[in-house]
Chain A
Amino acid sequence: MASLSTGVTAAGLPTGVPAGLGRLAATAGRRVAALGVLAALWEGLPRLRVVDPTFLTPLSEVLAAWWDLLLSGELLDHTQASLIRSLAGFALAIAAAIPLGLLIGWYEPVADLLNPVLELFRNTAALALLPVFVLVLGLGETSKISIILYACAWPILLNTVAGVKSVDPLLIKSARSMGLHPVRLFQKVILPAAVPTIFTGIRLAGAYSILVLVAAEMVGAKAGLGYLITYAQFNFRVPDMYAGILTISVLGLLFNQLLVRLERRFSTWRTT
């Protein structure tokens, strides 16, 4: 293990830099440092034969494979297929779960009626239901988009219900005192008050849409990043497999960043 540490360089701080700049560099440095260490390990461990390079391809070779996949257009096709599935499931989940959540949050009888069923389903892992989806909806796009929809719907639904239920009663009282009838009360008070909480659900759903996607594509798909990963593994194209995994990670990261930005935009007033 002693040979390991030679590949890792400590990120030292330059001395004599103004304090503010120094602190900024330190923060940036710390962020890059962890990734740098990871990259160095990924490159170093197989090269130094600590792990078998057949199973863990050095990072540089993975990147080269990724570049080839990009140039051949293969990567783009798979990414596109995956994104369409993810976004379709995600969008449908938003369209279905928000109205349902508002209904459940607002009407006590609906909540009482649906709660036992919801409790049962939310505690069933989405992927455990994948075979059922395939059985009922076949191996095509419908079952893949459906399972993503299903997985994405939960965080949105539960957060929407929570958002509606946690509106400050005083705000409702205040609006009622100004003679607002229920429909307007909902539109002008309940909905805007619930938006930040709903957005938290949407952000979580965004992450799920990528997580579940890969699993869905491992069963009977002919394109997609999940398919690329399993296919490459079956054919022992290990660098391609890692290239696929890397692409998924970056995609998930970017999607999440986008949603975090949006969430912040919609809930500036929440920063009390």
Chain B
Amino acid sequence: MKIQIQGVGKEFRVRGAGRPFTALDDVTLDVRAGEFLTLVGPSGCGKSTLLDLLAGLTEPTSGRILLDGAPVDGPGLDRGIVFQQYALFPWRTALSNVEFGLEAKAVPRKERAERARSYLDLVGLRGFEERYPHELSGGMRQRVAIARSLAFDPDVLLMDEPFAALDAQTRESLQEELLRIWEKTGKTIVFITHGIDEAVYLGRRVAVMTSRPGRIKRIVDVEFDSRDGDLRADARFGEYRHQVWTLLRDEVAAARAEEVAPVG
């Protein structure tokens, strides 16, 4: 197992409230090495909180997270994160942004530029090395962010709704490319989304979360006879889609009910 999430809970103290806010409660989930796992859940179910925990940016209140059998203690270059809002450094060019993680890893200058170039190439951005983020479209920025996370060669890629801010066409082409990159690099990918289609299209397994406090409700194995051609038109795709949708429906309703009448 690459990642083992064992009985993980996360509470936040809220100012002015008597009891703490429970974001995650007893989450247990295993991610296999080299697997593409998508995590889908209603908004506010703690998906991003779980990702922060995996990244080592925060610590769980209860339970533990193991990476290659060792507990996660803080962030590290063995995991790369891709955020929805790209998080590129606006004062750096595309190339220099990709080099960022390599600088943190103390890779020699020359090798840095070479590797950054090859990863920009991998995400289809040859010729855009010297552009600044504000000179790139949303899709291109996210490609740079993906290249940046891949460049320092982490085993695990954590993606937090990376395509949610993009238009439908750009999103589909990036999904396809992500699969291509995944097959080529063999990374373990944990991909958070609230899109059912996206979860089924990308994930080899889809973990469905409950509404707050977040728990893993069910894990759906997604298998196709062949992934060639228009996968979304496949009858099995529709079945998986419906299965995940049914699992989610009650949770979305529960999340909405809570928004209308907050409990506690």
Residue of A whose beta carbon sits closest to that of B152: A178
Residue in chain A with minimal CB distance to B101: A178
Docked pose: A180 CA to B152 CA in angstroms: 13
Q: Are A178 and B85 in contact (CB under 8 A)?
A: no
B12 at the interface (CB under 8 A from A): no
Q: Tell me which of A36-44, A122-130, A167-175 binds B.
A: A167-175
Residues of B within 8 A of A173 (CB): 57, 83, 87
Nearest to B104 among chain A residues (CB) is: A178
Is A270 at the interface (CB under 8 A from chain B)?
A: yes
Report which of A175, A176, A177, A195 forms a contact with B91, defined as CB distance below 8 A: A195
**B55 interfacial by beta-carbon distance below 8 Å:** yes
Interface centre among B75, B90, B103, by most chain A C-beta atoms within 10 angstroms, is B90
Are B87 and A171 in touch, CB under 8 angstroms?
A: yes
Q: Quick one: which of A130-160 are within 8 Å of B by CB?
A: none
- In the assembled complex, the CB of B32 is this many whole angstroms from the nearest CB of chain A, namely 23
Q: Does A193 contact B (CB under 8 A)?
A: yes
Name which of A14-22, A184-192, A200-208, A239-247 contacts chain B. A184-192
Asked if A179 and B87 make an inter-chain contact with CB atoms under 8 angstroms apart, the answer reads no
Residue of A nearest to B93 (CB): A269
Kindly provide the distance from the CB of B9 to the nearest chain A CB, expressed in whole angstroms: 22
User: Is residue A271 within 8 Å, beta carbon to beta carbon, of the partner chain?
Assistant: yes
Q: CA A268 – CA B92 in complex, angstroms?
A: 11
Smallest beta-carbon distance B19→chain A, Å: 26
The verdict on A272 contacting chain B, using a C-beta distance below 8 Å, is yes
Contact count band on B: 20 to 34
Q: Which of A177, A184, A188, A195 contacts B57 (CB 8 A)?
A: A177
Please pick, from B74, B85, B133, B152, the residue contacting A170 in the complex, using a CB distance under 8 A: B85
Whether A170 lies near B91 (C-beta < 8 A) is no
Establish whether residues B75 and A176, one from each chain, have CB atoms under 8 Å apart when the complex forms. yes
Measured between beta carbons, the chain B residues less than 8 angstroms from A193 are 89-91
B60-88 interface bits toward A, Cβ cutoff 8 Å, 1 = contact, 0 = none: 00000000000000111101110101010
Task: Find A269's partner among B76, B101, B103, B134 (CB 8 Å cutoff).
Answer: B134
Q: Are A174 and B91 in contact (CB under 8 A)?
A: no
CA distance A163 to B237 in the complex (A): 49
Residues of A within 8 A of B79 (CB): 177
The interface residues of chain A lying within 8 Å CB-to-CB of B91 are 192-193, 195, 269
Contact residues of B between 124 and 152, Cβ < 8 Å to A: 132-134, 152
Could you list 13 A-B pairs, sorted by A, with CB under 8 Å?
A: A173-B87, A174-B81, A174-B83, A177-B55, A177-B75, A188-B100, A192-B89, A193-B89, A193-B90, A193-B91, A269-B91, A269-B132, A271-B134
**B residues bordering A, Cβ < 8 Å?**
55-57, 74-77, 79-81, 83, 85, 87, 89-91, 100-101, 103-104, 132-134, 152
Instruction: Write the residues of chain A forming the contact surface with B, with a CB cutoff of 8 angstroms.
Output: 168, 170-171, 173-180, 184, 188-189, 192-193, 195, 268-272
Q: A174-B83, A271-B134 are in contact. List 9 more A-B contacts (CB 8 A).
A: A173-B83, A173-B87, A177-B57, A177-B80, A179-B76, A180-B104, A192-B89, A195-B91, A272-B134
